[in-house]
Amino acid sequence: MQGQSVITDSFIGEIANEIGLDAMSSVPCNLYLNGEYWGMYYLREKVDKFYLKEKYNVSKKSIDIVEFNRQSKDNFVANKGDNLDWISLMEYLEANDLSKDESFKYLANKIDINNVIDYLLLETFFANKDWPGNNFKVWKSNELDNKWRFIIYDLDASFRKDD
């Protein structure tokens, strides 16, 4: 199962990139240490402030990256910047009915709706068993449009037949 997860994660990440989501690209490579062959590995980029700076032409200081963490007080921790705007949005969603036009318009001003749709479709279609209760990251930049977008990562629990 371990070898399959490496290929699965990389494969789905490439599909995510093709449809415009933010995900790690990778390339297979053979690893040799001191002349000894250790096998095939995947050299991967990391979706972080440097990736987002380069891809979207924004400054690192303008970026907030928030990750779900069930052990934190608010369930979300800031990997970069702060998490206050995301937590405020989550509180708004809990308190408001999105079937009302004004509530949905507010949400559409805070989140890239097309990104959310693509994100949910990808995670659901590939049946990522380690989600949504884990592996959940969002980001935004006040130099872009200040809207939250999702980051695809850690898809090794996809395509499973065990449940």
Each residue's pLDDT tens digit, 98-135: 999 999 999 999 999 999 999 999 988 888 777 777 78
Q: Can you tell me whether residue 87 is helix, strand or coil?
A: helix
Residue 161 pLDDT > 90, yes or no?
Answer: no
pLDDT at 112: 97
pLDDT at 26: 86
**Chain segment 135-158, per-residue pLDDT in tens:** 889 999 999 999 999 998 877 767
Residues 6+ apart with CB under 8 A from 115: 20, 21, 147, 149, 150
Structure pTM?
A: 0.85
Place of tokens 């408001």: 96
The mean pLDDT of the chain is 89
pLDDT at 44: 86
Place of tokens 């049946």: 127
Cα torsion 28, 33, 35, 39: sign? negative
Cα torsion 136, 141, 142, 147: sign? negative
**Chain segment 13-36, per-residue pLDDT in tens:** 889 989 999 998 888 899 999 999
Is the separation of the CB atoms in 67 and 77 below 8 Å?
Answer: yes
Q: Nearest Cα to 68, choosing from 158, 150, 12? A: 150
| CA separation for the pair 113, 110 (Å, rounded) | 9
**Chain segment 65-96, per-residue pLDDT in tens:** 999 988 888 889 999 999 999 999 999 999 99
Q: How many CB atoms lie within 10 A of CB 86?
A: 24
Residue 32: HSE in the Cβ half-sphere, 13 Å Cα cutoff: 3
pLDDT at 1: 43
pLDDT at 41: 87
